[in-house]
Amino acid sequence: MTRRKLFEVLAIGLGNVMGLVLAIPGIAYFLDPLRKMSQSGGFESLARLGQLQVGVPQSFAVIAARQDAWVKYPKEPVGSVWLIRQPDGSQPAVIAYTAECPHLGCAVNLGKDGKSFLCPCHNSAFKFDGKPVNQVPPRGMDTLEVELTKDDDPQVLVKFDRFRTMSKEKTPLV
């Protein structure tokens, strides 16, 4: 190997070492969000069963504390949920849908007729049983886990989760 060739190899090699010393921590730092798990809340009380009318969807805000990067927020509304009470004796007694559209995450509202759900963004439409009415959404509305307390007028507890949009399967975000 000539002296010149040796210098060239050394220059390129050491230059790469320098790049890697910066690039490896830099990439690890940049990819940091992939390491952070999304926070899954517990069951939060939204309403009493007596407040709900059978078959009529009602919208409730989910109140929860949350950590947004460095800021710790006290309990405040973090999302909204549709609750539909089912006829007495049926299981489950209440169905809870997250208002986040499975298409692209806009907030699903009631349609003009009041007999279906309609997303204001791309017109995803759903029946009250959650099944899609048109081809826009990839799947039906996402149900949330519901529990009732043992009181005479039970409280409706809902576990608020978020799911991946644009997918046929209902997959929780992690």
- Residues near another protein (CB under 8 A): 4, 7-8, 10-11, 14-15, 17-18, 21-22, 25-26, 28-32, 35, 67, 69-74
Alpha carbon 31 to chain centroid, angstroms: 21
Q: How far is the CB of 75 from another protein (least distance, A)?
A: 12
Question: Among residues 29 and 152, whose Cβ is nearest to another protein?
Answer: 29
CA distance 72 to 67: 5
Contact in structure between 142 and 98 (CB atoms under 8 Å): yes
Closest to 138 measured CA to CA, from 99, 97, 168, 118: 168
Question: Among residues 55 and 73, whose Cβ is nearest to another protein?
Answer: 73
Question: Among residues 71 and 174, whose Cβ is nearest to another protein?
Answer: 71
**Which structure tokens are listed for 122?**
């791309």
Question: Among residues 37 and 71, whose Cβ is nearest to another protein?
Answer: 71
Q: How far is the CB of 5 from another protein (least distance, A)?
A: 9
Question: Among residues 25 and 120, whose Cβ is nearest to another protein?
Answer: 25
AA identity, residue 117 = F
Residues of 93-112 as b/e, b for ≥16 C-beta within 10 angstroms?
bbbbbbbbbbbebeebbbee
Q: How far is the CB of 70 from another protein (least distance, A)?
A: 4
